[in-house]
Structures are given as structure tokens and as C-alpha cells.
Structure 1
Amino acid sequence: MSVALENRLEVLRSYPRSRPETIERFARFLETSSEEALFRMSPLHFAEEQGVPENEAIDLFLRATHAGILEFTWGVLCPGCASFLTTPSALRSLQRTRDCHMCRVSIETGDDNMEVAFSVAPSVRRIRFHQPELLDLRKDLLSLMFSQSRTLPEDIRRLVGDSVLDSATLPPGGVHRFSAKMEPGQTYFLAAPLHHLWCELVPTPESRTSHVDAELLDGRLLPGEVQVREGEVSVSLHNRNSAPVRVALLKFWVPRAEMSCSAETVSTPPLRRYFSGKRLVTHQTFRELFRAESIPSEGGLEFKSLTVLFTDLKGSTELYERIGDFRAYGLVREHFGVLRDIIAERGGSMVKTIGDAVMASFAEPTPALEAATAMTREVRRVSREGVKLQLKVGLHSGPCIAVELNERLDYFGQTVNLAARVQGVASADEIAITEPVYGAPGAQDIIRAAALSATRERALLKGVEGETTVYRLR
């Protein structure tokens, strides 16, 4: 084991909740895995393969990133081909739309197509992917282009590798001349795969074009499509960027007649479960360690579905009057610690405290509901001088917007408002939830396991038009 890795592992071991056996599995994984396995890794895949709970694996990967063992990358997944469209400067530069030039589709960035992947840091173990301009694209084209959550049979992997007719590294200002015999019915691409830049070359009987001049300029490959003659064709590519770029000429592995992608017709290829951007930003460890990962300033980041949880202490005003400010505040702080641990253990994050209340976010409804049942149970154990705390909890799931407020991640929208209002109708030791939470897969199992009974009612909530279906769980 390298000294650099051992020193950084000591940082992970110093975390109070770390399990030595998990750290040792992680160390062996980093030392013995192939270079491909250490590029754009998923903590969910690590958890599955190593027999580690998912939330523990996520926490491990984030802490390892903070310790300099791993690096993470944000990508938008193309629904047609599962290309991993990388986002420079990570979250703060995430764009509302991305274009897959290979599939010729524009992709709306959403919580269902943002993947966060991790690679080993070069200071710990150097792998060839740290120098993409030197990669053998016949061997590494798939790894460079696509999400590692997409699994392909070996014959397809060979076919993709064989599609590379020629490749070169272009230094700044460099030019490379490609040539190939272009067959009718086939599609050819001039490509800079790491940057997801493609120029489609279409052989047609009508075209007399036998030479194409192309250039890499300001993050674009120009032109984007050219009709060329059938037969021998040459292409000169000029790199006008300030950094070297690995480029290739490809004979695409799918015949042109089968390339009918459009925004309306593409369907996501089979993928293993991947670590989504939504799950990352709703994780407590991310909030604590990566505050500098700011949300895009223009319009924030939209989530199609997020679960928001609010809590409040029953009778907190009377509590301060009864035992005094100092003692009451001690109890409140202790209850905050209990809630924070419960939220973190279930993969959520504590967004903020508001007086004696807590706002938390979760990627899915069921972990939030599990947290709510544990909160009402565990907070009763926080007692002092004969005082027992009672909690009111409200949950709602729906779309919302993540924004940066006072250098912290926060959420806005009607989903947040509804969750707060639903908490307001809950009684002491009661959880109030809306229909999207009650009807979520697995919610009924959680309610039964907690021995709770559900009472359905229609409630008028302040600031919400019409009546809202609310389930009271006691």
C-alpha cells in the first residue's frame, strides 16, 4: 500500500462511525481493482459487490473524496445511448440542457438523468484515465464515452473497439489528417469522445465532397454534419483549443438505417442503479463536507421529485418557561443531535433549523418516512428534570428547486410549503403525511413495522388552494 493511500485512510479511520472492516475492503479494492474499475465508480455498485450498506458506501466515498482518495464527476446521461456527458466544474456549471451529438438529441437535465461518478485520485494510484489524451481509444472508447452503469456484452464491446479507424492526440494548434474508404449505408464520425464532440460524415451518391476541413473551437467541433462522397475521403482536423485533445475517426457500429434517434423516440438503455445527483445533494455528508459545491446561480437546480420533512417540538414555549432558557436550550440541542443522526443514517440531510424546528430533505419518500417514525420514537428518550419531548412531523413529496442561500443549499417551492403546512396540522407524537408519501412503494410496510395506524382526512392548509388529503399516523 502506498504511503499516500495509507495516510489518507487514517483520516477515514478517525471518523467515529467508520467500520474498520469497511475501510479495509475499500483499501483492497483500490489496490487490486483494474484501472477500468477505478474510473467513474459508483458507491451503489461498491455496496452491492462488497456487501456494504448503501448509505455507508455513499458516506465512505464522500469522505474519501474529501480526504483526497477519490475525485467525483457530474454527468448528464443521454437517454438514447447512455453517454456520460461530463460537466466541467461540477455542480455549479450544470446546464439546463445538454446535447448528445451522437444521438442528435437535446436533453433536459433532471433528477432522473444526473449521475455522480467517482475515480481514484492520481495522488493515490495513477491510472491511464488520468491522461485521457494518451488513451488507446480502441480499448477505452466505451469507458470514456458511456456511463459505467451501462453493461454491454463482450461482443458489443469488441465491435465498438473495432469501430475506431484512426486516432491521434492533437496538441494546441495541431492538425491531423484522417482518411478512410466510406461505404454506402454506413455512418462515420469524427469525434473528440472525452468532450462529447461529434461531426457526422454521411456517404451519399449525390455528394462529390472528398475532403473535409474541420476544427475544434470553443468546446465545439465544426461542422456538425457533412455529406461526403462514397469511396475514399480525407478529413483534416485542426485543434484551436488551448489544451491537447484526443480525437478519432469512427465507423459507427450501428448502420445508418437503425440510427433513428430523436427526442421523442429515444428510450433509456438498460442501466444498473446509479448514484444520482439528487441523492448526492440530499446526503448529509455532502452538505457538511462540500459546501463549496454551489448550485447554478441562474434559476437553481430543479428536481422533479424530492421529499421534504419538517419537525417541531410540542409545547416548546412552555418548556422554556418551566425549566429556564439554559436548561431548555440544552434539551433542544440534544434533540437536534438525535434528529440529525437519524436523518443521516437514512441518507437524508438536515437542511436547517428554524427555532426548535428542523427541515430535512430526502431523495425518496420511504427513507424519509422511516426517519419520521424513528424520530418520534427516539426523541421521547431525550428527557431531563422530568421533561419528555414530544415531536410533530410532516412530510410531502413533489417538485422543488434547490438554490444556494447564504452559502448553503436550500429548497423552495410549493412542495416545501406543503410539507411545512402538513407538519402544522400534526399533533404531539404524530406524523402527518400527504398522498404521494402514503402511496409510495414500501410506505405501507414501514407504517405496519412501526405499529402505526393511519387516519385519512381532508384538510384546509394555509396558502394552499382547496383541500389536501392528509394521513395522520399514530
Structure 2
Amino acid sequence: MPDIANRVMAVRQHVDETVAVAMAHLIEDAPDFGLNRVNPLAFARTNGLGEQESIAAFLHATQLGLFELSWNIVCQSCGGVLYQAESLQGIDQHHYNCSFCALDWEPTLDETVEITFTVDPRIRHIAAHDPDSLPLWDYTRQIFWSSGSDLPEHLAPVVGEVVLDAFEIAPGARMGRQVQMREGVAILFDPVTHSSRFLEVSGEPAEGQRLSIELDDAHQAGETLRLAPGLLTLDLENRTNRRIMPIFWIAGKALEAILTRRVPVLTAKRLLTHQTFRDIYRTNVLDLNQRFRITSLTFLFTDLKGSTELYERIGDLAAFDLVRAHFQLMYQVVSAHGGAVVKTIGDAIMATFPTPAQGVAAALDIRKVIDELNRRDSRDDLFLKVGLHSGPCLAVLMNERQDYFGQTVNVASRLQTIATPDMIFATTPVVEDEEARALLAARGRSLHGTTAFLRGLSGEIPVYGIPA
């Protein structure tokens, strides 16, 4: 295995040694299955490591050529991967169809787009690098289903009661098979072309039923066919230039129980709010015309109060050093709580977090480190105003960098302008989050509710002061 030690040593420069060592063992010792679409959250859990540092390790390892990062559109019903792209720019459709479930999915960054890492073939060649050579059930498990599907490595032993039959058909070939049909709904689904047919089976048993189905690259569900219970002669034709592997699934609670078993995954939203990702992928994350919806993201805005007077009072050089030290602390605290600094605006920062609780924890610790900075320099004139809001937004490209747009961003920004040095201001979606409330209770913080007018919004909105 070429150059693994040197590249892992380079990863070790950015993350804790235990994380880098665990990654080295993964690359060297894991079975092929374990190096395809690696879920970094599962990697962290298995090795007793922190999720944030594990994500950072895989990002650095990708930059060093150890892994390849992929953005996968995942069906939220069955957990199947509908499309895989090498970058967010490659996700260029408004909807992706799951023909297994007959559902369309919008690529929202916090729900339908997952991030996985596959070992680079130049580091170690695994079977999934040549997916058409994988046996039927290995292909279905490793290529069709996502890293969030809680399924065993070997599927064949667990699908007996939910599968009528399964086939491998060479390019351009035909296959005949007899299948015993029973009442209910059956789904003939090919994980290679994502083509499917739904069969409704009902009524009195019948003999001599015959059905011919052509499977092509249409990537969609065909019309629903109706049959009677009994023996069916099935003729299948592969009209593609690849091997296909249609599987006859029995729809029902047993299949649903298999498909709905899930584990946490690294979502695109969480990746975009990871400081290491923003530091490494500064440009080319999004295309100029792309807009991705995020159903909920937490925004934190801070600003130094009286920074203009500070420059006048202590001079440009001293003030610049103080403001720069403040920015360094902001980056450290935001990153430590699983967020990322999106941009600085004068003496202000805009940061994002996957959850309200992470934003609240960061806001409290930010105020704490600013107080410590004041004490360190024997001063009492460095004050920070902080505003927090959660809600839907759009991920966009602005000024050649990935940014966010929408009313949620506007509210968070304007909330910071009315905040006070002794109170962090937050909105209802933040303080009503269960984890955020538990955090505030654990830290002995009570809420001070009021209402306020925010520029650009009609009417007053509820706001809550959190003692710093």
C-alpha cells in the first residue's frame, strides 16, 4: 500500500494522534466493505473518538489523496442512494426519483444529501471500485444502500422472507423464470438501472400467467401491473449494456422493518458548518446558479461594541492586535462547538451551527472568553453583542464563497444589533429547542422574554435575553 504512513503522518499534523492511528488501521486492516462509503460518524463511534475531529481527519485525508469524498442523494423512505456526485456542483437537478418507493426527493442539505468517504484506489483497491464485478447482494448493499442504512454486511441471510427471487442478467440477454405469486404487492426493482415495476396481486388464483418485462436505463418506475395469485412465468430482458440484477421484493411490514433501520450520517448541512471544510474548500463548493434549501440552520452574529472608540482610545496598532485576538478566540469557540465562521464583517462575525443547542453553547462560551481577554489585559472596555436565530435558509454562492441567504439570516443579523453587552439575544426557535433549554438549565441561565421591532420585519417579534 503506497505512501500510507507518510500521508497519515500528514493527517496527524491536523488532528489528534489517536484519530490518525485509527484511520491508518482502517485503511490497512478493514475489509473492502469497510472502506466503501465510510460514514465518519460511525467511524468515530466504533473507535470511541469525537465526531468533529473524525470529520476533520477525513477531510484532511481527502486533501492528501487517501480518500475520495462523495455527495449522495438519499431516499428518506428506503435509504437508497439515488445519485452520487463528486462535488455539490454535480447535484444539478431539482428532484431525484426513487423508483423503489415511487417518490421524488428535493436535494435538501440537511435531509437528503449525505457525505461519505471511499478509499482512493491508488491507496488501496477495493471491490467497490469495480461495482459491476460485485455479486448481486454485495452490489445491493454496498452500492444501492447508503451509509445511514443499518444493514449487515451480508444481506442474503436476512432477506429471505421479503424476497421472492433475484436475478443476474448479462447485457442484452433475456431470462425466463417461474415465480410463485401471492396476494399483496411485489416490487421488481433493479439496483443498477433503478428501474422498477409494481405488481398488485389479488383475486382468485390463476394458472398460465405470463409476463414479459424489458428493463432499460430509464431510472424510473413503470406502470403498476395487476396479477392473480399463482405461478407466474416471468420473461425479463436486459436492454442495457451493463449487467442488471432485478430483485423481486415483497412489500409489507417485514420489508419496511429492514428499510427503516438507520444510523446517524454526516449530512451536507453539517459538513458545510464544519470549520475544517470551510477552511479547506474555500471556493468551488457551489455553482453560481445553484440554490440548496436547508430546513433548519442556526445562525450566530457577533459584533464588538464601541470598536470605533477603541481605535481612537488605544491607537490603531493596539486596537488591531486586540481585534485580531478576539477573532482568533471566536474561531476557536465556534469550531469547538461544531460550527463554522462563514465570514467576518468589519469587527463582526457570522457563524452557523447544525443545532440551536450548539449555537447557544458557543454564544455563552464566546462571552466567557471575551471576559477572560478583558481580565488578561486588565481592561473592561471590550464588549460583545450576540444574536442567535434558527430557521430555514438557502445555501448559495456569494462573492465567490459559499454563503447563506434568507429571512433567517436577516433576523439573526438584526437581532445582534439590538443585543446588549450583558445579554445574548435569541429567538423562539432557539430557546424552544429541547437540547438548548436543557443546556441553559444546566448552566443556570434563566430567560428574559420581551418583544422587539427588527428593521425590515413587520410588527414586533418575541425575543429572549440570556444572561451572559
Considering the TM-score relative to the shorter chain, is it more than 0.5? yes
Tell me the SS of whatever aligns to 2:114: strand
Does residue 108 (structure 1) correspond to residue 106 (structure 2)? The answer is yes
Residue 129 of structure 1 aligns with which residue? Answer: 128
2:196 to 174, 195, 198: 198
Residue 454 of structure 1 aligns with which residue? Answer: 447
Provide the alpha-carbon RMSD of the alignment.
3.1
String of CA shifts for 1:57-87, please: whole Å, max 9, x gaps.
1111221222221222222332322112223
Does residue 143 (structure 1) correspond to residue 142 (structure 2)? The answer is yes
Tell me the SS of whatever aligns to 1:103: coil
Residue 97 of structure 1 aligns with which residue? Answer: 95
Instruction: Evaluate the alpha carbon distance shift between residue 316 and residue 468 of structure 1 in structure 2; reply closer, same or farther with a 3 A threshold.
Output: same
**How big is the shift at 1:399?**
0.7
1:279 to 247, 270, 286: 270
Does residue 55 (structure 1) correspond to residue 56 (structure 2)? The answer is no
Unaligned runs of 5+ in 1: none
Residue 305 of structure 2 aligns with which residue? Answer: 314
Does residue 377 (structure 1) correspond to residue 376 (structure 2)? The answer is no
Amino acid at match of 2:142: S
Does residue 247 (structure 1) correspond to residue 244 (structure 2)? The answer is yes
Tell me the SS of whatever aligns to 1:333: helix
1:181 to 178, 192, 207: 178
**How big is the shift at 1:387?**
6.5
Residue 118 of structure 2 aligns with which residue? Answer: 119
String of CA shifts for 1:324-349, please: whole Å, max 9, x gaps.
22321221122111101111111111
More off after superposition, 316-325 vs 90-99:
90-99
Does residue 165 (structure 1) correspond to residue 158 (structure 2)? The answer is no
C-alpha distance in 2, partners of 1:154/1:3? Answer: 27
More off after superposition, 307-316 vs 207-216:
207-216
Residue 466 of structure 1 aligns with which residue? Answer: 459
**How big is the shift at 1:369?**
0.8
1:84 to 81, 86, 95: 81
More off after superposition, 454-463 vs 220-229:
220-229
Residue 3 of structure 2 aligns with which residue? Answer: 4
Aligned length: 454
Asked if 2 retains the 8 angstrom alpha-carbon contact of 1:214 and 1:223, the reply is: no
User: Which residues of 2 match residues 309-348 of structure 1 at below 5 A?
Assistant: 309-348=300-339
2:424 to 431, 443, 447: 431
Instruction: Evaluate the alpha carbon distance shift between residue 326 and residue 130 of structure 1 in structure 2; reply closer, same or farther with a 3 A threshold.
Output: same
Asked if 2 retains the 8 angstrom alpha-carbon contact of 1:137 and 1:164, the reply is: no
1:35 to 18, 32, 35: 32
C-alpha distance in 1, partners of 2:133/2:317? Answer: 63
Amino acid at match of 1:348: G
Tell me the SS of whatever aligns to 2:73: strand
String of CA shifts for 1:98-126, please: whole Å, max 9, x gaps.
21101111223332232212222212221
TM-score of the superposition, structure 2-length normalised? 0.87
Asked if 2 retains the 8 angstrom alpha-carbon contact of 1:39 and 1:129, the reply is: yes
Tell me the SS of whatever aligns to 2:239: strand
**How big is the shift at 1:232?**
2.9
Instruction: Evaluate the alpha carbon distance shift between residue 43 and residue 155 of structure 1 in structure 2; reply closer, same or farther with a 3 A threshold.
Output: closer
More off after superposition, 18-27 vs 220-229:
220-229
Instruction: Evaluate the alpha carbon distance shift between residue 167 and residue 371 of structure 1 in structure 2; reply closer, same or farther with a 3 A threshold.
Output: same
Asked if 2 retains the 8 angstrom alpha-carbon contact of 1:380 and 1:388, the reply is: no
Asked if 1 retains the 8 angstrom alpha-carbon contact of 2:174 and 2:237, the reply is: yes
Unaligned runs of 5+ in 2: none
C-alpha distance in 1, partners of 2:156/2:25? Answer: 27
Q: Identity percentage over the alignment?
A: 32
TM-score of the superposition, structure 1-length normalised? 0.86
Asked if 2 retains the 8 angstrom alpha-carbon contact of 1:80 and 1:267, the reply is: no
